[in-house]
Amino acid sequence: MHAEDEMHDEILPHLPDPDDGGRWRAPALREQRLYELMRRDEAGEERAHYEYLRLIAAEGLYRPVPLPAAEGSDGTAPLTVMTLQDGRRVVPAYTVGVLPRPHPEVVYEFTTLGGLDALWPDGVDILLVNGGTPCTKWFLADEDEREVWRDLHVELFQPDGMCDRVETRWTGAPDDEAVLRGLACGAHLCYANGDAWNTLDWHGAGYANEVEGLSRDWDIDGRDDWLDTQEQLLRCEVSAWQWHFVLDVRNLLIRESGSARIDPVAWRDHVETAVRAQADGPDAAGFDAATLDAHVRILRGLVGEVMRYEARFRADGLLPPDGYVRSVAAWDLGRASMVARRGRGARYATQAELRDAVERAGKGAQGVYGSWAEFSAGYVLGRCLHFDEEAFGDWYTTVLDAHRALMTHPESPWAAIPLH
């Protein structure tokens, strides 16, 4: 990635007050609450200052770090200190909704009040939260005050406390429908992580966490890895070909018969016939008879596994009474939408590459599914086949909760942008 192609002047947030002196339209609910607390504090309500502090203690902050200092630091790079015109030295930190678009030379690391305390430099007495925005707040940072930070961190911060919710940006979101559709493909993961679904200004869990997460979850350790994995996801080549194979056989039977009610025995038999025919064809993998027989048993068994999941999906309302899953492409496309964003957060992807990737994810979803409900069922089946092993445990129940929220929440991406 060429840094000069990504260079811009938006290093720190700058969100001015409304020109007409009216009320500020915050980027998201979190900042709206902070804005109201700030106004109450200015009006003399003593409790508002403490409530502001409690909110950021619970949800965390992001701090700017020069990229060279952040690389390889595991999120422990020294705090950035700014000297104001009047000579005061402050540490700036921000809530996620006000962060600017990613910059090639400066990143943002996630932190907490406890994390700030652990790194606090000598000779600095002020924490400046959301500077340059209408919800700016100053906090003294002497030893007594930082003891309050430590106590609030222990009381309020939970690593998963921001997860499992629909988060939507009210301002600063892209307005291109194709981009929004591609972003909406990542709705399950945005819900699970508590991330705003409709932003290209991606900082995720902070630079170090994005880098570490891509390495841990995807074996992505650089730009070339990201490009390769991203392309495979967009082509739906990461999920197991066997899943696509058995579903494609059923889709063919449905087209030929004109009915969605396919006899399970016929489905299994056609799967076996098709795979044995491929083994005898010019592109055969060269299996010996025993290996081929074992492979057939696995595929026939997969038919039963899919049917049992679909039966549970119908019982739980994830599929209609006569519904079935035509494709698990959503499992790859949904993850492609998120890996694109995480690649941007890790500075492996350019803004143009992020935009192109999410647009492709949205077009891929359009080409396979008729509705977001169908997309979601395909995603859930792929996730279950990958992780759940018919336990119907957390790998299923958590994504079922996400599905239900995304199908009903008024600010859900699927309510905001149609698939077609």
- Hey, is 82 helix, strand or coil? strand
- The model's confidence at residue 284, banded by pLDDT at 50, 70 and 90, is low
The rounded distance, in Å, linking the Cα atoms of 328 and 21 is: 51
What pTM was estimated for this model as a whole? 0.94
Of 208 and 9, more confident: 208
Question: What are the structural domain ranges in the chain?
Answer: 3-156, 177-238+329-416, 241-315
- The model's confidence at residue 8, banded by pLDDT at 50, 70 and 90, is confident
pLDDT digits (tens, 9 = 90+) for 306-350: 999 999 999 999 999 999 999 999 999 999 999 999 999 999 999
Residues 107 and 207 sit within 8 Å (Cβ to Cβ) = yes
DSSP 112-164: -HHHHHHHPPTT--EEEESTTSTT-EEEE-SHHHHHHHHHHHHHH--TTTT-S
- The model's confidence at residue 258, banded by pLDDT at 50, 70 and 90, is confident
- Which regions of 180-234 does DSSP assign to beta strands (E)? none
Residues 101 and 138 sit within 8 Å (Cβ to Cβ) = no
Identity (one letter) of the amino acid at 85? Q
* CA nearest to 349, candidates 106, 72, 182, 104: 104
Q: ∠349-160-113 over CA atoms, to 5°?
A: 85
The mean of the pLDDT values for the chain is: 94
DSSP 288-340: -HHHHHHHHHHHHHHHHHHHHHHHHHHHTTSS-TT------HHHHHHHHHHHH
Rounded mean pLDDT of 143-165?
95
- H/E segment holding residue 244: helix 241-257
Instruction: Return the pLDDT at 286.
Output: 62
- The model's confidence at residue 46, banded by pLDDT at 50, 70 and 90, is confident
Q: Radius of gyration (Cα) for the chain, nearest Å?
A: 25
- The model's confidence at residue 19, banded by pLDDT at 50, 70 and 90, is confident
Residues 28 and 97 sit within 8 Å (Cβ to Cβ) = yes
- Distances from the Cα of 52 to the Cα of 20, 41, 200, angstroms: 26, 9, 27
